[in-house]
Amino acid sequence: MAELTFSATILNVNDDNATRYLTTRTLRLAGYRVLEAANGEEALRLAAQERPDVVVLDVKLPDISGYDVCQRLRSQPHTASIAVMHTSATFVTPDKKVRGLEGGADAYLTEPFEGEELIATVRSLLRMRRAEQDLRRRAEHLTEADRRKDLFLAMLAHELRNPLAAITTAAGILERRAPADPKDARMVSIIQRQTNHLARLVDDLLDVSRLTRGKVELRQARVDLRGVLEQVLTVFRPQAEGRQLKLESSLPAVPMWMEADSTRLVQVFTNLLDNALKYTDAGGTLTVTAERLLSEDGSASARVRVKDTGIGIRPEILPSVFELFSQADESLERTRGGLGIGLTLVHNLVEMHGGRVEAHSDGPGRGSEFVVWLPLQPQAVDAEQEVVLPELVKRRRHILLVEDNTDARQALQDLLETWGHRVEVAADGLRGLELAVQRTPEVALVDIGLPGLDGYRMAEELRAKIGRGIRLVALTGYGGTDDHTRAREAGFDLHLVKPVKPDDLSRLLSEL
């Protein structure tokens, strides 16, 4: 046991000189370094100064009790992890032992005790303390590794989104031109689909990391769930047709109002439909149905079913289908693709909205069904309020584009000019600030990671120089909640995460 004793320090606290001497001699013969204290205040001072591994602490001391000494050791971060062994020749009743142990002591010995019993107890406490230290070090390493992972994922997303933004914008320009060859149109369509798929994978990867750490915040507003489903279905119909799948839907004739984050709801049903699409072969059918339900207490909820005729889910996999990295297709060839995180996102986001989601399947080859329940606002709200959506006003704008990535800047400039906007560009924050002050554009699309003067500083300088006379839109690869908050605090009106789809950008410019 020598490895447990050669470096350990023991603080022996006892006001009885003879007992203190015998205890110290026993511990030193066992190879320990021993410090001594005759009262509680001296014990606290030595504990804070020397940081012993174990304190052998008599309960009855002349100034303060051993119970109080132990509690004060536990209350201070720098002494809280020291192992404490109470000793007593008088306070030996069960209730006194319980008081000592509940007060923070790790062991209790009744005097007089044998030397072997003392040494065995000290060794046990040292093993326990070192096990705790190992666990603490591992926890610290895991915390640091988690921090580095989050930093890496944020940087990875930023680095991936810049080229994705350039590709998406360039493909958007090509899509609006009449192709010279039918093959060109097919190639552009492939580029768009695969770029959108990559962008979704990047977003899902970051979102699941933030969700597992509780760092996703919902931006709730009054949302029509029916409108969200229609939006998702509009996006997926061409994809289903391209895969030779039938996409059927049955939605209510009236709005389904709820308090929700519309972006996150789109993400939920996009992931469910993407999952159904991925696991259903050509000739199959995807079905989306939604209905309003009323409970006995008068509360309303929505039940949305996403059903497919695909490969189904094996019974042994079904209970864990919402767990991280769970895959229905576990074959070596991995023909269905995916990261196994989409359904985890669905489950967490639905629960954050106060709902629940279930998965059903009759087994392999018999399709799957995912059912989502979400709380709705009372029907009376729908009858009282009529929302009129304004027509999008198309108009030419004077736009400043500040982007240091050459390809992304050129592609976005070409796209904006194709729409008839007047565009000026800058490759760094200082030049962007100069142009904004001199030319007073209506809108500035500003990358955050700029050389010289980053996007946040540029926004702050612009607000200080020209106030609210310009609309500032942040275009960035960083999409965390903290990034949105920081952009808003710097003076940006909107925060968009790359790659921005051309249709979304066109709508944004029309609605400003």
Q: What's the CATH number where 244 sits? A: 3.30.565.10
Say which residues have a Cβ less than 8 Å from residue 199's Cβ, sequence separation at least 6: 161, 164, 168, 499
Residues 319 and 235 in one domain: yes
Residues 341 and 398 in one domain: no
Residues 372 and 258 in one domain: yes
Query: For strand 300-308 and strand 257-260, is the pairing parallel, antiparallel, or unpaired?
Result: unpaired
CA distance 155 to 329: 30
Secondary structure class of 237 (helix, strand, coil): helix
Is 461 within a domain? yes
Residues 200 and 306 in one domain: no
Residue 395 CA: distances (Å) to CA of 175, 417, 510: 21, 12, 7
Secondary structure class of 216 (helix, strand, coil): coil
31 backbone φψ class: left, alpha, beta (φ>0; ψ -120 to 50): left
Is residue 158 a contact partner of residue 146, using CB atoms and an 8 Å limit?
no
Q: Which of 380, 413, 433 is the last residue of a domain?
A: 380
**Total structural domains within the chain:** 3
Residues 208 and 345 in one domain: no
Say which residues have a Cβ less than 8 Å from residue 481's Cβ, sequence separation at least 6: 210, 215, 216, 217
Q: Where are the beta strands (DSSP E) in 116-216?
A: none
Residue 25 CA: distances (Å) to CA of 8, 10, 12, 19, 383: 15, 12, 11, 10, 87
Is residue 435 a contact partner of residue 426, using CB atoms and an 8 Å limit?
yes
CA atoms within 13 A on the CB side of 66: 30
CA distance 464 to 459: 9
CA distance 497 to 487: 12
Look up residue 395 and give its amino acid: R
pLDDT tens, per residue, the chain with 512 residues: 444 444 689 999 999 899 999 999 999 998 899 999 999 999 999 999 999 999 999 988 999 988 999 999 988 888 888 999 988 887 667 787 788 788 888 888 888 888 899 999 999 998 888 888 888 888 888 878 777 776 776 677 667 777 888 888 887 777 777 667 777 777 877 787 777 767 776 776 666 666 666 666 777 888 899 988 988 888 888 888 888 999 999 988 888 999 998 878 988 998 899 889 988 999 999 999 999 998 877 789 999 999 999 999 888 888 888 876 555 554 433 444 444 577 888 898 899 999 999 999 998 989 999 999 999 988 644 433 443 333 333 568 899 999 988 888 888 888 888 888 889 999 999 999 999 988 889 999 999 888 889 999 999 999 988 888 899 999 887 766 778 888 889 999 988 888 787 877 888 887 77
Residues 375 and 301 in one domain: yes
Is 121 within a domain? no
Q: Which of 380, 399, 420 is the last residue of a domain?
A: 380
- pTM: predicted TM-score of the whole model, two decimal places: 0.47
**Residue whose C-alpha is closest to residue 443's, from 408, 402, 382, 406:** 402
CA distance 83 to 123: 11
Is 143 within a domain? no
Is 308 within a domain? yes
CA distance 226 to 289: 10
Which residues form the domain of 22?
Answer: 2-113
Q: Which of 336, 356, 380 is the last residue of a domain?
A: 380
In 416-431, which positions are buried (b, 16+ CB within 10 angstroms) versus exposed (e)? beebebebbbbbbbbb
**Residue whose C-alpha is closest to residue 444's, from 391, 168, 164, 434:** 434
Residues 211 and 236 in one domain: no
The whole-number pLDDT of residue 502 equals 80
Is 122 within a domain? no
Is 120 within a domain? no
CA distance 262 to 390: 19
Is 332 within a domain? yes
CATH of the domain at 73: 3.40.50.2300
Residues 231 and 369 in one domain: yes
Q: What are phi and psi of 222, to 5 degrees?
A: -75, 120
Residues 352 and 451 in one domain: no
357 backbone φψ class: left, alpha, beta (φ>0; ψ -120 to 50): beta
Is 165 within a domain? yes
Residues 402 and 487 in one domain: yes
Residues 99 and 9 in one domain: yes
Residues 34 and 109 in one domain: yes
